[in-house]
Amino acid sequence: MNPWRRVRLAVAANVLVLVGGTVGYLVLGFDLLDASYQTVTTVTTVGFREVQPLSTAGHIYTMVLILLGTGTVLTTFTVVVETLIEGQLRDLFGRRRMERKIAGMSGHVVICGWGRVGRSIASFVSTAGRQLVVIDRDAERLASVPYPTVVGNATDDDVLRAAGIDRASSLVAALDTDADNLYVSLSGRSLRPDLFIVARARTNTSEEKLLRAGADRVVNPQAIGGERMGAFVVQPHVAEFVDVVMHDGSLEFRLEEVAVPASSALTGRTIRENHIRDSSGALVLALRLADGTFLTNPDPATAIEAGQVLIVVGTSEQLVKLRTLVG
């Protein structure tokens, strides 16, 4: 049985005993105040004298009330104390387990804010196989979150540290206000200069400020949502294809990015010389160069250099082969 249901039942039984005891003393000739006082002192075993002399029936009734009422009061007290202690211990041990789990994480994503945007981000990140930690100041809202959580204000450095920001790969500021997201970006950048930070913006005027505060990317969900709806109107097949490839997972093909490290065997040779298509089956759609620009539909004679990122499409098996080839 739910522990709080046990508490409600115990309290209801206690109230029933008090009301029943008071009614009994009223029948024995007590007035309402004396009957209530006599009932309370009897079931709590305080031991004060009777407020008025008891008849034989009164003595018998009082003994029965002591046996029934005292047991009910003690049971109620025990149930309430057990529930409180069990709840506190459960919360304490649960939090300790959560802290140990977060302490063992590395390369995870820290998501600040568990609203509609935060939930959507968490679902996408989790589906991609990445670990994540959610921060929110509302403990009740985090109670049903299926990921490791930290209760607190995400603009607080200590809260970010509790989420393992020193070992995280990315920080997502998805709080309700642009001001809060700006503070999170500032805090994240000061704690980890190398951290990749994505911030949510509600207004266009906030985007530049968030970038100056330390965010690497700023996303306006409302603007993107509008553009996506417009794309369905103008190019529905293209928009749906991109949606399915990026989010749905029902197609065999996926879009992914593969970074080229300095130790890769691909560096210094062209796409044709590396036989990427023949060796892995994956198709290179674009290259992100070291300066951040994109080279779309690259010529096979394009040389691959360390620090570049391959934007590729392929099946899961083909992408695994490509990652092995890149090294």
What are 260-279's pLDDT values in tens digits?
A: 998 998 998 998 998 888 88
pLDDT in tens, 208-259: 999 999 999 999 988 888 888 888 888 888 778 777 776 665 667 778 889 9
pLDDT exceeds cutoff 60 at 2: no
pLDDT in tens, 280-302: 999 898 999 988 899 998 998 99
Q: Give me 158's structure tokens.
A: 């200590």
Asked if 115 and 181 count as a contact pair (C-beta separation under 8 A), the reply is: no
Please state the pTM of the whole predicted model. Answer: 0.63
Distance CA 303, CA 140 (A): 53
pLDDT in tens, 12-47: 888 888 888 889 888 888 888 888 888 888 877 776
User: How far apart are the two ends of the chain, measured CA to CA in Å?
Assistant: 55
The average pLDDT across 125-153 equals: 91
Q: Give me the DSSP letters along 21-81.
A: HHHHHHHTT--HHHHHHHHHHHHTT--PPPSS---HHHHHHHHHHHHHHHHHHHHHHHHHH
Q: Which of 86, 94, 158, 165 is nearest to 133 (CA)?
A: 165
Distance CA 297, CA 313 (A): 12
Q: Give me 18's structure tokens.
A: 């008090």
